[in-house]
């Protein structure tokens, strides 16, 4: 018999973090030995906010290689201006049409949370 003790339970809904997203959805191709190309589909949040988040060789990420965990990532082309990213923008006059280098993953996670979390049903894995 299952006992219902909801008054004593705390239920926390944990949103997917950017490092988990990268590991789940990234594709990596070897171009030549020692050189890879990485691609992660756009992050789509539950409120419709979208952004490109990339990490790997030749990208503005730390580390700049294929890794299991990143401290900083390359973010770009958000669907709307997000001022938490502004100081990382290459073009401060075009916040929706630029790349943002070495954005701390903690800030990416904060923005994802602000926009309701990642909507995995909306991810285009092409």
Q: 38 vs 31, 57, 96, 110, CA distance in Å?
A: 10, 7, 22, 24
Contact between 74 and 84 (Cβ < 8 Å): no
pTM of the model: 0.85
Query: What is the tens place of the pLDDT at every residue in 43-55?
Result: 999 999 999 999 9
**Residue 114 pLDDT:** 95
pLDDT in tens, 87-111: 999 999 999 999 999 999 999 999 9
- Omega of the bond prior to 60 within 30 degrees of 0, cis? no
In the predicted structure, residue 124 carries a pLDDT above the cut 90: no
pLDDT at 7 over 50: no
Does 4 have pLDDT greater than 60? no
How much is the pLDDT for 15?
79
């Amino acid at each position: 018999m299952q006992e219902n003790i909801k008054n004593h339970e705390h239920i926390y809904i944990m949103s997917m973090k950017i490092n988990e997203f990268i590991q789940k959805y990234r594709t990596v191709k070897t171009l030549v030995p020692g050189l890879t190309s990485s691609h992660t589909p756009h992050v789509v949040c539950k409120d419709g906010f979208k952004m490109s988040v990339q990490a790997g060789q030749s990208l503005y990420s730390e580390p700049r290689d294929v890794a299991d965990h990143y401290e900083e990532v390359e973010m770009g082309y958000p669907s709307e201006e997000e001022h938490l990213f502004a100081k990382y923008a290459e073009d401060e006059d075009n916040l929706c049409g630029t790349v943002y280098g070495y954005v701390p993953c903690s800030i990416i996670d904060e923005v994802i949370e602000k926009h309701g979390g990642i909507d995995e049903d909306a991810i285009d894995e092409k």
